[in-house]
Each structure stands twice: as C-alpha cells, then as structure tokens.
Amino acid sequence: MKITVEQVSQALSHVNDPDLGRDLVSLQMIENIRTEEGKVAFDLVLTTPACPMRNQMKAECIAAVRQYIGKDVEVEVNLTSKARPAVASELSGVKNVILVASGKGGVGKSTVAANLAVALAKSGARTGLLDADFYGPSIPMMFQLGQQPIQGVEKDGKTLMLPVEKYGVQLMSIGFMMDPKKALVWRGPMVSGALKQLASETAWKEVDYLVVDLPPGTGDVQLTIAQSFPVSGAVVVSTPQEVALSDVRRAVEMFQAPELHIPILGFVENMAYFTPAELPDHKYYLFGKNGCKRLAEEMQLPVLGEIPLVQSIAEGGDSGKPVALDERSPEGEAFLHLASEVIRRISVLQYKQQ
C-alpha cells in the first residue's frame, strides 16, 4: 500500500490536543512524517517532555492513522519536545518559575513544594527547587540534608554556586549555609537582597520547572521574587478551614495586583481529608469539606489537587524521603496528579499568550 505524507497529515488532523482543543497538525505538533510501503513514522512534538497526556496522544495518533489510512499500517511515533528557551532574566538556564505560596503558615506549603518538585522530576521534567523561606528553611530537612559545602563554578567571568542534587531535583537553600540551631535575624530588605542573589547566582542546569517555596504571607520576599523574575504562575496552598481560606484571598489578590499580574495556576487543598490505613476507602473531613473548592469556584480558579492528611506524608518530610518518591502509594499518586495539572495549566497559559 502506497501512503503519502498528505494522507498521514490529513489523518492526524483528526487528533486534538486535549488541553488546547485544537488538532495536532494546526498546532504544528507533527513533524518529520516519513512513509514506506505499509509503514508510517513521524515526530509528535510535545510542549514539555513531562507532558501528562503524551501516552494518550500517541495512542490517538496511531488509532487515527489506522482508521483513516488502513488498519494494518505499521505506525511509529517518536515522542519529542521542542526546547522552550529559558526565560530572559538573571535566572540563567531556567524555563519556567512556579511559586508555591500560602496566605498563612502551618498549611503544609513546604511539604507541597518539596513533593511537587519530586513529582515533576519523576514525570520526566528537569526540576529545581529554591527555598525562599529564609526565616524557616525546611527544604534541607525534607531532603535529609543539613549544612552543605557549596561548590562554585566560573561562568561568564562570575563565580556561581552549584545546586545540591537529590532525587533528580536541583536544590538551593540558605539552610545549606547556616547553622540550623541559630535564628536568622535580618530585616526584610536584607532578606530580599540575599534571596535575589541566591536565586540568580546559582548555576541552574537547564531547568524546565523551578519550584520556589515562598514564606507564608504577603511580604517583602514574595514581592522581590515576583518583581525580579518572570514567573509562569503561582500555586496557592491552603487547608479547608475558613480561617485559612480568608488568608488565601489576600495571597491571590497580591499576585493578581496590576504591579505583579502573576497568573494563579490554581489551589492545592492540603490536609483535605483523613483516611485511616486500615480503612482506605473512607474519608473523614476533619477540617471541613470543599472549602477550597467553594473558594475556587467563587474566584473562577481550578483546584489542582487534594492532598490527604496521612502520617506517611509527615514522616516522609521528617525522614528526608518525600512521599512523592513512591508513585504507587495513594499519597504519591496525589502529588503526581498535582504535577500533571501544574504542567497542563502552564502549557495552556503559554499557548494563550502566543
């Protein structure tokens, strides 16, 4: 059977990107179509190597070729991604910056940031994690790291710090450079300046997603990061209680202010429900139910994920082994789902900005 490139292109025009709602051909996601007798091969160019829908789109491409050309056609799909340039800023080598924020402390923001970074790395993305909480840097503990001898590297006449790497994530924190038993007694402007220096003088290595664990609240550090670097979007963490949700409103209003105008990717409801290990199908809503969902609907923003209140998540943070490392556990699955939703939201936002 003789097959033409035009036939293949026409067949693949029936396959849509599930997030963007347009066909793969018009989105220029199909390249290098090759045909032989009874065989078809082409590249499926994804928006990111960690695209959560990659297997679904590959299967739909194969099905479309066999439906519109012939059921016995041999189809080879090469999954690839188009390299998006790093953002034009002092964050050399970083393509996307994701802020993880909360309106108040105690909602598990750092736990979400650490597990999100691990889940992004496990999904295939090159990932970095910047600990921007100078007064309470918890990332070193969550990765079973203490003070670290930070290595330097010369680049363009400057000495940059090499990030510490663990679990496939590039890490940088002021906690690597200070005694964990001593408090940091700095005024806000000093912290802001030091944080900007820490972020921009780290030699990030081709990072697809840099997760930034912000301190709670709406202070100097949040404004420094938001105003100093191009940010792809913010993830806002909350618990279901009304007292936490009232602070979330202020965090969202800060990011949406005209002088910042940072897209909100969505909410993460942490400690959403409790499920006993011996009753895995039961959910107990200890802090209220659907609090984040109601606020998200009111503000016309999505809920990216619901993270259960389970002992393993806390133990993973204390032991330096984030629960997202085990994608087979319900907790690990929850963070992998969160990572896929974050990737999808960024892809959609970037497409709309083109």
Strands 233-238 and 264-274: parallel
pLDDT digits (tens, 9 = 90+) for 1-47: 788 999 999 999 999 988 778 889 988 889 999 998 889 999 999 87
Instruction: Show me where the domains of the chain are located.
Output: 5-81, 97-353
Three-class SS state of 165: strand
Give the pLDDT confidence score for residue 342 in this predicted structure. Answer: 94
**Contact between residue 279 and residue 318 where contact means Cβ atoms under 8 Å apart:** no
Q: Tell me which CATH code domain 97-353 carries.
A: 3.40.50.300
Residues whose CB falls within 8 Å of the CB of residue 80, separated by 6 or more in sequence, listed in order? 43, 44, 45, 46
According to CATH, the topology of domain 5-81 is GMP Synthetase; Chain A, domain 3 (3.30.300)
Give the pLDDT confidence score for residue 88 in this predicted structure. Answer: 47
For the entire predicted model, the pTM comes to: 0.83
Consecutive H or E run containing 123: none
Q: What is the CA radius of gyration of the chain?
A: 22
Distance CA 342, CA 335 (A): 10
pLDDT digits (tens, 9 = 90+) for 264-276: 999 998 887 787 7
Distance CA 195, CA 130 (A): 10
Per the prediction, the chain carries an average pLDDT of 84
Distance CA 169, CA 173 (A): 13
> What token pair was written down for 41?
């091969």
